[in-house]
Structure 1
Amino acid sequence: MDSELRDLFAFLAVLHAGGFREGARASGLSASRLSESVRRLETRLGVRLLHRTTRSVAPTEAGARLAERLVPALGEVEAALDVVNHYRDRPAGTLKLNVPATVARLVLPPIVAPFLKAYPDIRLEVVVEDSFVDLLAAGCDAGIRYDERLEKDMIAIPIGPRVQRMATAAAPTYIAEHGRPRHPRDLLRHACVRGQFASGVIPTWEFERRGEIVRVDPDGPLLVRLGAAVDLAVAAAVEGVGVIHLFEAWLQPHFDSGALVPLLKPWWQPFSGPWLYYPGRRHLPAPLRAFVDFVKARPAR
């Protein structure tokens, strides 16, 4: 790609991500390389395009006007280059997905291997992130999220199991010492292993039976970051630290081995499965189109 064009893409990567380090993570380039590209572009144009601080960057008036015209123009350039993919025997290129840890653990494993075998010229990058994400700013082609966390104005198609459940469990040693809860509110008297989102929010545990919904906020000796440290929470529950409330599929191997015992099963609440989502544009990059078609062709579960 011509150096002037690369500099323009670098400028947009930094602007969309809100900083050079963030732009580097999104683009796969180093922060120093992005900085050099933007500086070279500013020198060539003779105007400052970005206001730089130690924490972030913001466009100058000239930078904002340039970005306004560049986004659709460079989008057309990328689309034009990708058209060549349709003349290959097989789609090629990089597909970058942004997914939460639960999806990386429970949804993608049966999909990734057969997809890459079917399309050996595609390189798949998976970014695991549990917070809300601006796909374009993050430099991703598509994301996978649940209903309540989908970005607006996106095309979404179902991926993975269509119905999932949250399960509650404890180790046999814990049950022998503390007994079984008979109702969700009994958990308020038990030691519970809790999770916390990156925002600091600790989600309540929700249960449902015959139309009755019960939400509880129990206490316990261990609090972990959801996504990053869920395996630690599961290991602690297996060792008898307390009661855990997590995706059924995540706990199933421990149910099968007997390391964990299901609790309050009639109250386990079902919910709809995740969605693959991407910007609604007429032309999809060939790797994303291949992935969308592959997901659509898989039998529903």
Structure 2
Amino acid sequence: MKLDFALLNAIVAVANAGGFREAARVTGSNPSRLSDAVRRAEQQLGVRLFNRTTRTVALTEAGRALMERLQPAMSEVDAALDAINRYRTTPSGTLRLNVPVSAARLVLPAIIPPFLAQYPDIRLEIVAESNVQDVFRDNCDAGIRYDESLEQDMVALPIGPRRQRFAAAAAPAYLQRYGLPQHPRDLISHNCIRGRYASGVMPEWEFTREGETLRIQVNGSLVVSVGSAVELAVQAAIAGSGIIYLFEEWLRPSFESGALTPLLEPWWQSFSGPWLYYNSRRLIPAPLQAFINFIRAQGQATDI
């Protein structure tokens, strides 16, 4: 029995995503089109592939049997099509990167425009996560993480600035009203703008000077989600709501404009820059290989 290739793609997309809406988001389609494609596939095959409710979409036994054979076959088709890129003057296809919000703001703006200019046939999709997630979520090909977030069995490639710092800052109006902290311990009595991870953890503020490290559990009237609501925290700090502790480069425009005043700079903690990482055991798609080559050429970096 023959089935249109587009219908097969729709089945795989919905099965992998676990629903029509999520599959539409990942593939750039729309839920109604995918739903219609799956319905037509079921009609032609004469079996139901998915059990649908208002909340869930799950494979039936027949659907699972089909996916067991179909998934490897579709992967081989993708690999075969990607191999054609070797014969093109420039590679094409889609590259999906899973990155922290901080990398999307501080690292990628200097990299993405020249990369797209060099490879105009590549479609780049950036999935910016507020919290660290599996790099292969949403069918991503690679990800950007900091050292402590690197997974095993990954190839890691330096990307972006190799040294970064966290900076403490407050608005002049706040400091005029509440005073200037002279030591990290002074922050305990100040109104600090804190961040919370999806896990519920609110990290301590860590400072380092001449081999001494201090971890301060600060308090304050504003708590924001790490990543997705950080810009709100910056604007609140500028408005005088409290002291903020964030990437130095994120706050630099506010330092230069005078909207925020740097605090405790001798204590600012320095840490290594982020890494592009990917699974070397997987076939590397041409768009990802082009991005890897581009990053290597920029930094003359080597894998670790």
Q: TM-score, normalised by structure 2?
A: 0.88
Larger displacement relative to structure 2 (171-180 or 204-213): 204-213
Distance 1:300 1:166, change over 3 A: farther
Q: Which sections of structure 2, spanning at least 5 residues, go unmatched?
A: none
Q: Does 1:207 align with 2:207?
A: yes
User: Which amino acid letter does the alignment assign opposite residue 192 of structure 2?
Assistant: C
In the TM superposition, what is the alpha-carbon distance from 1:134 to its structure 2 partner?
Answer: 4.0
Instruction: Output the CA distance in 2 between the equivalents of 1:26 and 1:3.
Output: 23
What is residue 69 of structure 2 aligned with on the other side?
69
What is residue 238 of structure 1 aligned with on the other side?
238
Question: How many pairs does the alignment contain?
Answer: 300
In the TM superposition, what is the alpha-carbon distance from 1:168 to its structure 2 partner?
Answer: 0.8
Distance 1:136 1:3, change over 3 A: farther
Contact 1:162 1:300 in 2 (8 A): no
Contact 2:154 2:277 in 1 (8 A): yes
Q: Does 1:123 align with 2:98?
A: no
What is residue 31 of structure 2 aligned with on the other side?
31
What is residue 139 of structure 2 aligned with on the other side?
139
What is residue 261 of structure 1 aligned with on the other side?
261
In the TM superposition, what is the alpha-carbon distance from 1:71 to its structure 2 partner?
Answer: 2.6
> Secondary structure of 2:157's match?
strand
Distance 1:254 1:8, change over 3 A: same
Contact 2:169 2:244 in 1 (8 A): yes
Instruction: Output the CA distance in 2 between the equivalents of 1:298 and 1:289.
Output: 14
What is residue 296 of structure 1 aligned with on the other side?
296
Instruction: Output the CA distance in 2 between the equivalents of 1:202 and 1:175.
Output: 24
Instruction: Output the CA distance in 2 between the equivalents of 1:300 and 1:84.
Output: 28
Identical amino acids, percent of aligned pairs: 60
In the TM superposition, what is the alpha-carbon distance from 1:191 to its structure 2 partner?
Answer: 0.8
In the TM superposition, what is the alpha-carbon distance from 1:26 to its structure 2 partner?
Answer: 1.2
In the TM superposition, what is the alpha-carbon distance from 1:261 to its structure 2 partner?
Answer: 1.8
Contact 1:13 1:137 in 2 (8 A): no
Distance 1:175 1:137, change over 3 A: closer
Instruction: Output the CA distance in 1 between the equivalents of 2:274 and 2:61.
Output: 40
Contact 1:26 1:137 in 2 (8 A): no
Instruction: Output the CA distance in 2 between the equivalents of 1:135 and 1:7.
Output: 27
Contact 2:163 2:273 in 1 (8 A): yes
What is residue 18 of structure 2 aligned with on the other side?
18
Instruction: Output the CA distance in 2 between the equivalents of 1:53 and 1:214.
Output: 53
In the TM superposition, what is the alpha-carbon distance from 1:73 to its structure 2 partner?
Answer: 1.9
In the TM superposition, what is the alpha-carbon distance from 1:22 to its structure 2 partner?
Answer: 1.4
What is residue 249 of structure 1 aligned with on the other side?
249
Distance 1:300 1:201, change over 3 A: farther
RMSD, aligned CA: 2.4
Q: Which sections of structure 1, spanning at least 5 residues, go unmatched?
A: none
Q: Deviations over 1:61-84 (max 9, x none)?
A: 333333233332211101111122
Instruction: Output the CA distance in 2 between the equivalents of 1:16 and 1:42.
Output: 17
Instruction: Output the CA distance in 2 between the equivalents of 1:147 and 1:164.
Output: 12
In the TM superposition, what is the alpha-carbon distance from 1:120 to its structure 2 partner?
Answer: 1.8
